[in-house]
Amino acid sequence: MDHQRSRLRLIDVAKEAGVSIATASRALSGAAGVSEDITQRVRAVAGKLGYVANVHARSLAGGASSSVGLLVHEIGDPYFAEIASGVLRLGAQQGLTVQICHTGRDPDNELTQIRALIANRVRAIIIAGSGFVDAGMQVAAKEELRAFEASGGRVTVIGRHHLGADAVLPDNVAGGRSVTEHLLALGHRRIAFAAGSLALTTVADRLSGAAEALGAAGLSIAELPVVDVAFTREGGKVATERILHEFPDVTAILALNDDMAIGALSVLRAQGIAVPEEISVAGFDDVAVAEDLSPSLTTVRLPMAELGERALSLALKPPSARPRRRATGHVLVARDSTGPPRC
Amino acid sequence: MDHQRSRLRLIDVAKEAGVSIATASRALSGAAGVSEDITQRVRAVAGKLGYVANVHARSLAGGASSSVGLLVHEIGDPYFAEIASGVLRLGAQQGLTVQICHTGRDPDNELTQIRALIANRVRAIIIAGSGFVDAGMQVAAKEELRAFEASGGRVTVIGRHHLGADAVLPDNVAGGRSVTEHLLALGHRRIAFAAGSLALTTVADRLSGAAEALGAAGLSIAELPVVDVAFTREGGKVATERILHEFPDVTAILALNDDMAIGALSVLRAQGIAVPEEISVAGFDDVAVAEDLSPSLTTVRLPMAELGERALSLALKPPSARPRRRATGHVLVARDSTGPPRC
DNA sequence: GTGAAAGCGCTAACAT
DNA sequence: ATGTTAGCGCTTTCAC
């Protein structure tokens, strides 16, 4: 490979501007100690020539890295796609390139991706996927990230992790409480939960919010069906079938993300069960399509793109002594998929 | 920034393995001319130490770049998210990092992103967004990409562009024909088209496939309403409202992507118009949610993730004298949103 | 304020 | 088969 040969180098700009390569470098990077005059001239020349610095040379020479890494479970999942969108938007604005990697919610794979990002000398790593309830799942990653931070890298996570990094926290507990209160207020008592894997902090937190709301109403989640399946549309379908079969008296299903809720609606429609007349369904996240489903989905809106932007903006700040935690809000969006119970 | 200092270098591995830095380099990169024995030893040491090469040093020194760039309109759009998923999957498998950029369908912005990717010395650039019917829109990008290729970079596009690069071609024309034939076979004659911007080759091609099918049935698209709006859900809503108002005798709406179709269904539901009894709706792409809509959406399935994988795999091949063109197929997925016309 | 020169960590000739 | 060394293009001391 010789992608770099024959392209414009800093020395070309320096010559054209009639200055040394050092001065040209300073002028372009906005370092102090260059006359305003020369700075302008160099920049004009660079612009005219269409010069763009070789990122690798810059980074190798000890300049600031201009790229950040984003780890998602799966970019095809709208939740992560929207987070990525926020990261990309702010990244472009800041002149950063964003490398995105899949983890597939597999800690081993996550570790591999983290290593690759570190080898790429990214300035920061943003971990968007849910944490694991069991801190042990990510000890290796934690160690690697610690070393990365020690050598000047930044790490931020979205969600509750045991990684000791700056975090942007989706309002999972309060959101779970809100949507459960909504169901309770409608009169539901026999509520079933279509939960993604309970090993994920996201699932655990949403469920714990639900438990709080139930507790406040004198109910106990321990007496209600919590079906632990995959955190996907397919999981939502499986959970719903199981709920219909094993707990026929249920009047509402709370899916712990919209994808699962979509799966639930799909099964209910296939079985000719009216929503919300016979069974109410609620989701979580408010992905774009939620409002256009039929019936439109009652759900908890999380500001996904904002989560991404805030995670990146945290990553761009210098580190603090203690990990920062940025809480975000949620909005309960009551639509047509929930209503009073049938009896 | 000093992310790199203090991390393991190649020389540390070489010392530990008792070989020269050159031998270590060769052993790790799998170059020929190293005894099997030493190769194993070096790799073992590297593994034990957790050594990962500095990508910037490697790339600067003229080694193969390990990253590729992917340009999408907007990663939050499921069509692009699925393409990205395919690219990421194959990329991870090949040990490549993938940088994703938004273009927002703005040629200027696209040019900026291309320059950034080139500055990052990516091995290849994949352009996933639709091309423009007017070749003039992208002359600057074309020039830049030409220079990139001349210096060893690879470029592939998804869709019909005027960029002279290797291309993976979604089956837009034939898909447009298939879905239109489906509507005609059901008995529809007054079909309206909710088209995204006609400046996009994707839209133009889908529409031209539709025109072919109409022509074969003795009809002319020139006499049918083609509403030219944004290629988005919102555009689908606007188009549908306009169609209902201005062309009340229409019996079917063909939206040129699923997002627009979702917008169309949403408006029809809001206005109490039964689908497909009063108006049939069809889309294009078959995004994941299409089958779970109500009614489930008749659409043209495009293998999006495969599009992404094939684009990357083309980009990884050496260039050919003439641009390659890889056709892909489509599948008409007839679901519940289309049926015979009301009268 | 500006220039000269020493690396950053690696690969690829070029020696041996 | 292995070692030595000259850069890759940039930033950053260190002189001036």
Are both B187 and B292 inside the same structural domain? yes
Are both B78 and B118 inside the same structural domain? yes
Cβ atoms A143, A111 nearer than 8 A: no
Query: Who's near B70: CB < 8 A, 6+ residues apart?
Result: B84, B87, B98, B99, B100, B101, B125, B126, B128, B308
Chain B residues within an 8 Å CB radius of A262: 289, 292
Q: pLDDT at position B88, please?
A: 98
Instruction: Assess B291–A contact: CB distance below 8 Å, yes or no.
Output: yes
Q: Is the peptide bond before A78 cis (omega within 30 degrees of 0)?
A: no
Residues in chain A: 343
Statement: the CB of B97 is under 7 Å from strand C: no
Q: Which residue has the tokens 């989701």?
A: A283
Residue A20: count of CB within 10 angstroms of its CB: 12
Are both A162 and A310 inside the same structural domain? yes
Domain of residue B257, CATH code: 3.40.50.2300
> Nearest to residue A239, comparing CAs of A211, A214, A267, A219?
A267
Are both A222 and A290 inside the same structural domain? yes
Q: Do B121 and A56 touch (CB under 8 A)?
A: yes
In a domain, A11, yes or no: yes
Cβ atoms B120, B69 nearer than 8 A: yes
Are both B210 and B286 inside the same structural domain? yes
Q: pLDDT at position B5, please?
A: 38
Are both B276 and B208 inside the same structural domain? yes
Cβ atoms B92, A101 nearer than 8 A: yes
**Could you list the residue range(s) of the whole structural domain that residue B47 is in?**
2-53
**In the predicted structure, residue B4 carries a pLDDT above the cut 60:** no
Question: Kind and range of the H or E element at A243?
Answer: helix A233-246
In a domain, B242, yes or no: yes
In a domain, A338, yes or no: no
> Nearest to residue A91, comparing CAs of A120, A124, A68, A74?
A68
> Nearest to residue B307, comparing CAs of B183, B157, B141, B176?
B157
Are both A186 and A296 inside the same structural domain? yes
Q: pLDDT at position B62, please?
A: 78
CA distance A304 to A291: 16
Chain A residues within an 8 Å CB radius of B57: 56, 60
A150 φ/ψ angles, rounded to the nearest 5 degrees: -60, -30
Q: For the whole model, what pTM was predicted?
A: 0.93
CA distance A164 to A147: 12
Q: Which residue has the tokens 């390569």?
A: A21
Are both B116 and B127 inside the same structural domain? yes
Rounded to whole angstroms, the maximal C-alpha distance in chain B is 85
Are both A279 and A190 inside the same structural domain? yes
In a domain, A59, yes or no: no
Residue B90: count of CB within 10 angstroms of its CB: 22
| Number of domains into which chain B is organized | 3
Chain A residues within an 8 Å CB radius of B150: 6
Token pair listed for A89:
């938007």
pLDDT per residue over B271-325, tens digit each? 999 999 999 999 999 999 999 898 999 999 999 999 999 999 999 999 999 999 9
Token pair listed for B208:
């031209």
Looking at the DSSP assignment, which residues form a beta bridge with residue B290? none
Instruction: Assess B92–A contact: CB distance below 8 Å, yes or no.
Output: yes
Are both A91 and A139 inside the same structural domain? yes
Token pair listed for B276:
């497909």
Cβ atoms B94, B123 nearer than 8 A: no
pLDDT per residue over B32-75, tens digit each? 888 888 999 999 999 998 888 888 999 888 777 889 999 999 99
Domain of residue A28, CATH code: 1.10.260.40
Q: pLDDT at position B33, please?
A: 80
- Residue B151 pLDDT grade (very low, low, confident, very high; cuts 50, 70, 90): confident
Cβ atoms A126, A93 nearer than 8 A: no
Residue A97: count of CB within 10 angstroms of its CB: 24
Q: pLDDT at position A3, please?
A: 37
Q: Which residue has the tokens 């299903």?
A: A253
Helix (H, G, I), strand (E, B) or coil at B71: strand
Q: pLDDT at position B201, please?
A: 97
CA distance B212 to A126: 48
In a domain, B60, yes or no: no
User: Which nucleotide is closest, CA of A20 to its C1'?
Assistant: C3
Cβ atoms B234, B163 nearer than 8 A: no
- Give the pairing type, strands B154-158 and B166-169: parallel
Q: pLDDT at position A5, please?
A: 38
Instruction: Assess B272–A contact: CB distance below 8 Å, yes or no.
Output: no
Query: Who's near B81: CB < 8 A, 6+ residues apart?
Result: A75, A76, A77, A78, A81, B75
Where do the DSSP E strands lie in B172-214? 191-195
Which residues of A spanning 52-81 put their CB closer than 7 angstroms to strand C? 57, 60-62
Residue type, A102: H
- Mean pLDDT score of chain B: 93
In a domain, A160, yes or no: yes
Are both A73 and A99 inside the same structural domain? yes
The pLDDT tens digits along chain A (343 residues) read 333 335 789 999 999 999 999 999 999 988 888 899 999 999 999 999 888 898 899 989 877 788 999 999 999 999 999 999 999 999 999 989 999 999 998 999 999 999 899 888 899 999 999 999 999 998 999 998 998 898 889 999 999 999 999 999 999 999 999 999 999 999 999 999 999 999 999 999 999 999 999 999 999 999 999 999 999 999 999 999 999 999 999 999 999 999 999 999 999 999 999 999 999 999 999 999 999 898 999 999 999 999 999 999 999 999 999 999 999 999 999 999 999 998 6
Q: pLDDT at position A199, please?
A: 95
Statement: the CB of A23 is under 7 Å from strand C: yes
Helix (H, G, I), strand (E, B) or coil at A68: strand
In a domain, A342, yes or no: no
Helix (H, G, I), strand (E, B) or coil at A28: helix
Helix (H, G, I), strand (E, B) or coil at A280: strand
Are both A190 and A85 inside the same structural domain? no
In a domain, B339, yes or no: no
Instruction: Assess B102–A contact: CB distance below 8 Å, yes or no.
Output: yes
Q: Which of A122, A143, A289 to probe by mutation at the B interface, max B CB count within 10 Å?
A: A289
